[in-house]
Amino acid sequence: MSFYLIKTPKFIQNLFNEYIWSFSFTKTPKKVIHLTFDDGPTPEITDWTLNILKKHNAKATFFCIGKNIDKHPELFKRIIAEGHAIGNHTYNHLNGWKTNNTDYIKNIEKTEKSIQQYLKNSKLITQNSKLLFRPPYGKIKNKQAKLLLKKGYSIIMWSVLSGDFDQTIRPEKCAENVMKKAQNGSIIVFHDSVKASKNIKFALPKVLEYFDKKGYCFKRIALPK
């Protein structure tokens, strides 16, 4: 099992403050959490995820892999149609640390073309006008980040990892990770992938029910230009 932090420490967020790790809601009494899902769209698991979100009237942000969009366009269109935000997660889950800058940016641009061809007729164009990007594994070189920021992307990281990708942990632990660490303004990572399916199918309903009872609402990430 590889080491990872469930909650991103403040010093890391401050060190890389050009990225978005969480949101501040100090000016409003509303309690808001941002659920995000990486690596889809994936048949069955993404459908299941969308069904659970709809049951709780929850909106989320899906960071999609380009090749999965091209393989499963109807599923991708369902994400858009149900009012969720879309983010770019590279075309084939590239590790930025292991990829030269030119290839990395081209890979992201290829994904963006796939995203935009479905978004162009969607009202999400105005609701989420700024481009969103999340680097796979959270690994991105400083130069790559600067190039993306210059192109108008917001780089969305996270404040809480569910750990659903970790097949060595119990599903109960996955739910506990989020319920104990998330708070107002948190950005939480789940994965709508086959690998994560056992954990997310247990944890996501528990998380939604837990925060529903505490008066939280779940919103997509929307950043105006």
What are φ and ψ of residue 36, in 5° steps? Answer: -130, 150
* Contacts made by residues 92-99, CB under 8 angstroms, sequence distance 24+: 92/65, 92/66, 92/67, 93/39, 93/65, 93/136, 94/136, 95/136, 95/137, 95/139, 96/135, 96/136, 96/139, 96/140, 96/141, 96/144, 97/139, 97/140, 97/141, 98/139
Q: Which of 38, 39, 166, 192 is catalytic?
A: 38
84 catalytic per annotation: no
How far, in Å, are 2, 6, 127, 216, 217 from residue 168 at the CA level? 10, 15, 38, 30, 30
CA atoms 33, 39, 43, 45: torsion sign: negative
Q: Which residue in the list 34, 166, 191, 192 is annotated as catalytic?
A: 191
Annotation marks residue 38 as catalytic: yes
Pairing outcome for strands 32-38 and 187-191: parallel
Single-letter amino acid code for the residue at 88 = N
Provide the annotated active-site residues.
Answer: 38, 191
